[in-house]
Amino acid sequence: MSKSAIEVPSQGGFSFDLCRRNDMLAKKGVGLPSFLKTGTTIVGLIFQDGVILGADTRATEGPIVADKNCEKIHYMAPNIYCCGAGTAADTEAVTDMVSSQLQLHRYHTGRESRVVTALTLLKKHLFSYQGHVSAALVLGGVDITGPHLHTIYPHGSTDTLPFATMGSGSLAAMAMFESNYKEGLTRDEGIKLVVDAICSGIFNDLGSGSNVDVCVITKGHKEYLRNHLLPNPRTFVSSKGYTFTKKTEVLSTKIIPLKERVEVTEGGDAMEE
C-alpha cells in the first residue's frame, strides 16, 4: 500500500480534520453553536507620559446582552495591557496564553517585558490560525524603549499608531479621536478623550454599552480604573416590587421508597494516606 502524499507531522496551526464532519452535520440540519461576540468599542491612545486604554463593558449574543459588565481590558504584563474585541473566548484565550508566555520569558531573560514581544507572540499565533481565531486587539504598554500602542487584526496583521480604535463601535470612537486628538496630551486630557470616545461608542453603537473601563500605563506605574464611568443606570425600579407566588400546581403525588442496596458498616479501615 503506497501513500500518494508524504505524511507530514503536525506542526501546530489549524487542524481542518473536523471540517468534513461539520459539513455533514450542517447538511443534516445541525448548525454550529453561536459564538459570544463582544460587539464592543475599544480604544487606545499615547499621551505625554505613556498609554491610555479604554473599553466598554457589554458582551452580546446576537441581539441579547449576555453580560452587562464584562472586562475587556486584559492583563498581559505588569507594564502591558490588551483590549480585546471579537469572539470573547478567543480574546480571553489568546491574551491569557501570551500573558503566560511573557511571564516565562521574563524569568528566562530577567528583564521587564517589551510590547513588541507581546505583539510578535500574538501576531504569530493569530496568523497561524488564518483568521479563524476571531480576536481583534488593541495592545498598549510602556517599556524600556518607551510607550507603544498597536492594533492586531484577526488574520495577524498589525499597525503601530498614536491612537487606535477597534470593534463594532470603532467608527463612532474614531470620529471623536480624529476631531480631538493632539500630541502631548496630559493625563487628564487623555482620560477625558478616551472616555468621550468610548461613550460615543456606547450611545451610538448597539453592540456596545453599559460602563467605561480605563487603564493608564506610565513608566513604572499602571492604574486600572475598572468602571471609571457608569453612565447607564437602570431607569425604572418599581416601588412596590413584584411577588412571584404562582407555583406549578401539584396534580398528584406518588412516593416510592428506595430499597437499601448497600450495607453501611460503621468503623472499618481508614482510607489510605
Partner 1 sequence: MTKQAANWSPYDNNGGSCVAIAGIDYCVIAADTRMSTGYSILTREYSKICKLADKSLMASSGFQADVKALQKLLAARHLIYQHQHNKQMSCPAMAQLLSNTLYYKRFFPYYSFNVLGGLDTEGKGCVYTYDAVGSYERVGYGCQGSGSTLIMPFLDNQLKSPSPLLLPAQDAVTPLSEAEAVDLVKTCFASATERDIYTGDKLEIVVLNADGIRREYMELRRD
The catalytic residues are 40
Whether residue 42 contacts residue 91, with contact meaning beta carbons closer than 8 Å, is answered with no
Residue 213 lies near partner 1 (rule: CB under 8 A)? no
Which CB sits closer to partner 1, 69 or 179?
Answer: 69
Binding to partner 1 (CB under 8 A): which residues in 61-80? 63-65, 68
Pick from 186, 206, 219, 226 the residue near partner 1 by CB under 8 A.
206
Collapsing DSSP to helix, strand or coil, 98 comes out as helix
One character per residue 23-62, x = contact with partner 1 (rule: CB under 8 A): ----------------x------------------x-x--
Cell of 148: 507603544
Identify any residues that bridge with 150 across adjacent strands, giving them in sequence order: 139, 160
C-alpha span between 34 and 40 (Å, rounded): 17
Collapsing DSSP to helix, strand or coil, 178 comes out as helix
C-alpha span between 59 and 16 (Å, rounded): 29
Which CB sits closer to partner 1, 113 or 200?
Answer: 200
Q: Smallest distance from the beta carbon of 251 to partner 1, in angstroms? A: 7
How many CA atoms, within 13 angstroms, populate the side-chain half-sphere of residue 76? 33
Residue 208 lies near partner 1 (rule: CB under 8 A)? yes
Residue 253 lies near partner 1 (rule: CB under 8 A)? no
Eight-class DSSP state of 38: -
Residue 20 lies near partner 1 (rule: CB under 8 A)? no
User: 88-109 and 115-128 are packed helices; what angle lies between their axes, rounded to 10 degrees?
Assistant: 130
> How many positions of this chain bind partner 1 (CB under 8 A)?
31
Residue 262 lies near partner 1 (rule: CB under 8 A)? no
Cell of 259: 430499597
Q: Which residues bind partner 1 (CB under 8 A)?
A: 39, 58, 60, 63-65, 68, 168, 202-210, 231-232, 234-240, 242, 244, 246, 249, 251
